[in-house]
Structure 1
Amino acid sequence: MSRLCFDYGHGGEDSGACYNGRKESDDVLSIGRAVAEEVKRYGVTVDETRSSDATVSLNDRSNFENRNTYDYFISFHRNGFKPEVARGVETYTYLNARAKSKSLAGKIQTSLVALGFTDRGVKEANYHVLRETKAPAVLVEIGFIDNSGDNALFDSKRSEIIKGLAKAILAQVGVDYIEVSAPTQAESGQTLYRVMAGSYSVRENAEKQVKKLKSSGFDACIMIFN
């Protein structure tokens, strides 16, 4: 199974970008750890360069990653420029990055743009955590912390951001994300949660998906809808 290294930017004495009492270090720790919990549900191992509001140097971050072998290194950030001037998301790879880095960056960027963030594109940069890490690496800037519109999206669509990032990361490592539908009320009054893992016009394809889910330990069956 895949092993990932998650890096939550700044922390401790380094708050990162700040605006109206809001800290980048807090935002990325919160959202990043939630994404980690989501992907871990699928058996993916996630190690974190920090798990609290602690000061971690750039060297400590890259050294942490270099001590192990990871499939990907993902650094979470929020941008800053001038109050209410810039907005949007951008995802970075190192200069002349490997195909795997570019592929993951593209998936992450697409997932966030789909939620309403302005698309600032996939870019290259000579950042320490991209340059000094061994695994294919990306750094994502989840909107501008000094833009009220981006903050509104970050807060109101928190669950969608977590889900979108998790889906993008899982897709890159070859794991299918399983959608959980809204709860329905059973006749007995008990709330049930139905899990959807795809809809198929060909029964054979549906049967293959059920077999795949069962082999992964999920209880699955075919339900017919007209």
Structure 2
Amino acid sequence: MAKWLIDPGHGGVDSGASYKGRRECDDVLKLSLRVGELLKNNNENVYYTRSIDTTISLAERSNKENNGNYDYFISIHRNAYQPEIAKGFEIHVYANGGVAEQLANKVNSEVVKNGFVNRGIKISNFHVLRETKSPAILVEVGFIDNTSDNNIFDSKFEQIAQSIVKGCLLQIGKSISINSNSLNNNEVYYRCVAGSFKEKRNAEVRKDELISKGYKDTFIEVYKVK
């Protein structure tokens, strides 16, 4: 069992990249929460730098990691360049040859199976990679300004989340366990919403109630009414 800090990029006043009304901060928060749920379902300890759409500085992100004795730091982003020009999945690490690169290779190998162009592992001097103590990776889950990447992100959202978790668990010598009532990649499912709440605490109470009744795949999804 490891202790994971999941870092959904941007948030609050910093929406990150955007394209045709789609915001990076929303996509990565949704994906981060699902990755965290899957890790928890596999008996891992999971924490977040943010779990709602709020502003968090780079220093606050790295300080949280440095003060928490985490085993791994996973920052989740979406890329952008010029509309419809670049596409693909890539992972950034601070340096070659360490545990972070091992983790990056495992996650990359799993995620690109979903149809993303493989842009590989890149060495980058990003704050959240440089200033964190634990092995840290920053994943760019396709280009938000590329329609084909957005189609993969949307149509294979669950598979992508599972792929990230598969790579993480491989790093610590585990295989992913998916509950029998989890999504099947080859079938169509219909999501049942059990309430929308203005206060996060009320959503958490409803989630706990459903889990206690056997609905183990219950998770909180953050959205903004437009």
TM-score between the two structures when normalised by the length of structure 1: 0.78
1:137 partnered with 2:136:
yes
Question: Which ranges in structure 2 are unaligned for 5 or more consecutive residues?
Answer: 183-226
| Deviation string, structure 1 residues 114-136 (Cα, Å, up to 9, x no partner) | 11000111111000000000000
Report the counterpart of residue 152 of structure 2 in structure 1: 153
Long gaps (5+) in structure 1: 184-226
Q: Which stretch of structure 1 is more off in the superposition, 88-97 or 127-136?
A: 88-97
Counterpart contact for 2:95–2:101, Cα < 8 Å? no
Aligned to 1:72: 72
Deviation at 1:97, TM superposition (A): 5.2
Equivalent residue number for residue 58 of structure 2: 58
List 4+ stretches of structure 1 deviating above 2 A: 178-183
3-state SS in 2 of match to 1:139: strand
Deviations 1:43-88 (A, max 9, x none): 1111100000000000000001010111110000000000000000
Shift of the alpha carbon at 1:171? 1.2
C-alpha distance in structure 1 between counterparts of 2:26 and 2:7, whole Å: 13
1:93-172 → structure 2 map (5 Å cutoff): 93-96=93-96, 98=98, 100-172=99-171
User: Do residues 176 (structure 1) and 193 (structure 2) align?
Assistant: no
Identity %: 49
Separation in 2, partners of 1:75, 1:158 = 17
**What amino acid sits opposite 1:169 in the alignment?**
C
Please give the alpha-carbon distance, in whole angstroms, between the structure 2 residues aligned to 1:8 and 1:182: 26
Structure of higher RCO (CA pairs closer than 8 Å, 6+ residues apart): 2
Q: Shift of residue 2 of structure 1? A: 0.8
Contact 2:42/2:177 (8 A) holds in 1? no
TM-score (norm 2): 0.78
Alignment coverage as a number of residue pairs: 182
The question of whether the paired residues in 1 share the 8 Å contact of 2:116 and 2:152 is answered with yes
Q: Which protein has the larger Cα radius of gyration, Structure 1 or Structure 2?
A: 1
Aligned Cα root-mean-square deviation (Å): 1.4
